[in-house]
A = this chain, B = another copy of it.
Amino acid sequence: MGRFSQVLRDRGYRITVQREVILDEVEALPGHVSPNDVHARVAARFPQVNVTTVYRTLELLEHEGLVSHMHFHDGARWHRADEGLHQHLVCRQCGLEEQVELDEMQPLARELLSRHGFHADLAHFAIVGVCQECVRAAAVPVG
Residues of A within 8 A of B (CB): 71, 89, 91-92, 98, 100, 104-105, 107-108, 111-112, 115-122, 124-132, 135
Instruction: List residues of chain B with CB within 8 A of the CB of A121.
Output: 92, 127-130
Are A132's CB and B108's CB within 8 A? no
CA distance A89 to B132 in the complex (A): 28
Instruction: List residues of chain B with CB within 8 A of the CB of A98.
Output: 116, 118
A133 to chain B, nearest CB (A): 8
A86 to chain B, nearest CB (A): 12
Are B126's CB and A125's CB within 8 A? yes
Given contacts A105-B108, A107-B107, A108-B105, A119 and B130 within 8 Å (CB-CB): yes
CA distance A98 to B122 in the complex (A): 15
Instruction: List residues of chain B with CB within 8 A of the CB of A120.
Output: 89, 127-129
Instruction: List residues of chain B with CB within 8 A of the CB of A108.
Output: 105, 107-108
A93 to chain B, nearest CB (A): 10
Given contacts A89-B112, A125-B125, A131 and B118 within 8 Å (CB-CB): yes
Give 20 A-B contacts (CB < 8 Å), ordered by A residue. Answer: A71-B71, A71-B125, A89-B118, A92-B121, A100-B112, A104-B112, A107-B107, A107-B108, A112-B129, A117-B131, A118-B130, A119-B129, A119-B130, A119-B135, A120-B127, A121-B127, A121-B128, A124-B128, A125-B126, A125-B127
